[in-house]
Amino acid sequence: MADEPTAPDQQSPAGAPAEQAAVDRRWRLMASSAVGIFVVVGAIIGFVLIPAGQRENAHLSMDSAMRRAAGLEAGSPAQPQPAAATNALPVSQVSWDPAIMQHLAASNTERGEKLAGEVCAACHGDKGLSQTATTPSLAGQTSYAIYKQLHDYRTGARVNDQMTGVAQSLEVGDLASIAAYYAAAGEQYAAIGRRDLSGEPEIIKLVWEGDTKRRIPACMSCHTNGVGGPIETPALLGQNREYMVAQLNAYADKSRKNDVYGRMRDISRRLTPDEREKLARYLQGTL
């Protein structure tokens, strides 16, 4: 008896492996094609488009580059500040390059002595001992401390009607000569104002220990020569009280802004007006 054909749903799956292989090949080809496309696109971006953009930027004209740096072209990170923000005093621009450092350390101060006698001695004294309460004494200061303030007057970072004109009339080298002269001439007064620990305890603590709760460092951690503070830091012992009070108040109300990193502005505003007055009296030696 002849075999009867089986129903479709009863057929043997003998051909299934061949059909499955065909399907698998089709998916492998599609996956390989997709990967190939991504590789080609990535190569075009990495090796053609990006280098082309870099070459274009690299060939900017010198005039265009300078204009961008000066903020004269759109898109520059150095765009001028809004008009409302340009009224603030500029910060200190002093720099300690090797030539200036060598000049400040020079022992030959003949040029500085001549300029000091002609320009500075009338107010600051021959040896830097001021006889006017509102004029700072230069005796006992380092050449770096004196030069920094003169330089700030010259650039406008610090403003005083008289000192601005004086500093701007002199060359930078002349400022260094004057600073070196006064540092040498007044070196014998470096210990002026030293005192025993007498006075109001809270003021003595501010001077020698500071106040950690208010984040106020000790005055003497920076403001005496040889303690390792910033190179431009002035010595305060023996300085005129009126002058110191005026400067502390100017820092506190931010009318004086030539302190590097805003150190003194931050410290002064944490002090009360009474503390500023008493600190100045103690440092001068009159408390």
pLDDT digits (tens, 9 = 90+) for 213-226: 999 999 999 998 88
Give yes or no for residue 270 having a pLDDT over 50: yes
**What pLDDT, on a 0 to 100 scale, did the predictor assign at position 227?**
85
| Residue 149 contacts residue 178 (beta carbons within 8 Å) | no
**What pLDDT, on a 0 to 100 scale, did the predictor assign at position 62?**
42
Give yes or no for residue 4 having a pLDDT over 90: no
Residue-averaged pLDDT of the chain: 79
**No. of H helices and E strands in the chain?**
13, 0
* Interval 272-281 mean pLDDT: 96
- pLDDT above 70 covers what percent of the chain? 64
Q: Where residue 79 falls among pLDDT bands split at 50, 70, 90?
A: very low
> Which pair of tokens denotes residue 166?
């004086």
pLDDT digits (tens, 9 = 90+) for 183-193: 998 887 765 55
Q: Whole-model pTM?
A: 0.68
**What pLDDT, on a 0 to 100 scale, did the predictor assign at position 198?**
61
In the chain the domains, ranked by start, together with CATH numbers, are 94-190 (1.10.760.10), 193-287 (1.10.760.10)
**What pLDDT, on a 0 to 100 scale, did the predictor assign at position 236?**
93
> Which pair of tokens denotes residue 59?
């060939």
Pick from 37-51, 67-81, 264-278: least confident: 67-81
The most confident of the ranges 43-47, 58-62, 106-110, 260-264 is 260-264
More confident residue, 287 or 128: 128
Angle at 88 between CA 86 and CA 94, to 5 degrees: 105
**What pLDDT, on a 0 to 100 scale, did the predictor assign at position 21?**
60
Eight-class DSSP state of 268: H
Q: Where residue 194 falls among pLDDT bands split at 50, 70, 90?
A: low
Give yes or no for residue 81 having a pLDDT over 80: no
> Which pair of tokens denotes residue 222?
């920076």
**3-class DSSP state of 138:** coil
* Interval 76-92 mean pLDDT: 50
pLDDT digits (tens, 9 = 90+) for 166-175: 999 999 999 9
